[in-house]
Chains A and B, each alone.
Chain A
Amino acid sequence: MIVVVMIGMTLLFAYVAVYADNYKAGIGSSILESLTIEDVWITGPQTVQLTVYNTGTTTNLGTNVDLTVASIYVNGTALTTSSSSNNINFNEVIGAGDHVPIDGYRSEGFQSGNTYDFKIVTVRGSNFEAQYTYTAP
C-alpha cells in the first residue's frame, strides 16, 4: 500500500509541476504582456492596417514575452481577417521587440471625421487600446 501511495504521489507531483509551468507560460504571463498600437492606417474604405509593437523584451521586463493577437475590435465590433471571410481569429504571433503590421477588414467601413476605438485582445486575455480619428485624403 505504501508503494502504491508513493507511486501515486509521484505522478501527482509531476502533474502539479507541469501544470504550474504551463500556468506560468500561459495565462499567468498575461500581466507581463506589453503591446503598443504604434500606427493605424486606414488603407481603403473598409480596410485597416494596424502596426503593433511588442515591448515585452528582456531589456524592459527581464525576460522576452511573446504574445499572440487573438482578435481586434473597432468600437466593439470585431474585425475580420479579410473581406471574403467571417474569421475574427487573427492568431498573429508577435515576438518580443517586433513591429508587426496586421491587416483587418470592417464591413461597416470607416467614415472620415469619426474617432475609432481599436482594442486588441491577446490569447492570454490582455487588452490593448488606441483611439484614432480618421481623416480621409
Chain B
Amino acid sequence: MKRLIKNRKGTAEVIGTLLFIVILLFFFTNVYLWHDAATKDANQLFLKKINSTFKIEQAAGTIVVTANGGLDITLSRLWIIDNTLNVHYYANLGNVQVAAGESFNITFSNNENCYNPPSPVNVNPPQDGSMQVNYYPPGYSVTCTVINTLGIAESTTFQP
C-alpha cells in the first residue's frame, strides 16, 4: 500500500482524467440548466398567448377591442387594409393596455383630409378607454387588423 502511495507514476494521467470529467460535467450541467430555463420561458410565452385572446368588432364607426381571455392585453399596432386602392396603412397604438374582460375603442377621424394619410397614421393619445386614429374611412369596406404585443392578430371588416 505504502509503495502504491509513494509511486508517482501516472499522477498526471489521473489528474487529467479527473479534470476532464469536471469539464464534461460543467458543460452538460451548464447547457442543460440553461436549456431547461429557456424551454420554461418559451412555454410561459405560449401560455400567455393562449390566455391573452381578444376579439375586435365594429360598433357604428368604432372598432371595439375586447380582451376576452384571462390576462390583460397590450395593443401594439392597427393595420388598415384597403384592397380597393391596394394600400396598407398602419397606426402604432402605443402599447395601450386593456384589462381582462374590458373593452377599448378605436375611433376614426371625421376629417376628409385624412382619407389617404401617410403611414404610420397619426393617433391621438388614449383617453377614457378610447383612442382616435387620424384616418378617414372610405365609402367602401376596409379590413382592420389589431396586433397585440404577443403577436396575436384579430381582424374585422369595417363597413362604411
Contact = CB atoms under 8 A, between A and B. Distances in A.
A23 B33 CA distance: 13
B90 interface: yes
Contact of A62 (B20, B41, B88): B41
Interface string B62-83: 0000000000000011010101
Nearest to B42: A31
A32 B147 contact: no
Interface of B is mostly: helix
Interface stretch (B24-32, B99-107, B110-118, B131-139): B24-32
Contacts of A53: 76-77, 147, 151
Interface in A1-48: 1-2, 4-6, 8-9, 12-13, 16-17, 19-20, 23-24, 28-29, 31-32, 34-36, 38-39, 41-43
Interface of A: 1-2, 4-6, 8-9, 12-13, 16-17, 19-20, 23-24, 28-29, 31-32, 34-36, 38-39, 41-43, 51, 53, 55, 57, 59-63, 97, 99, 135-137
Interface of B: 11-13, 15-16, 19-20, 23, 26-27, 30-31, 34-35, 38-39, 41-42, 44-45, 48, 76-77, 79, 81, 83-86, 88, 90, 145, 147, 149-153
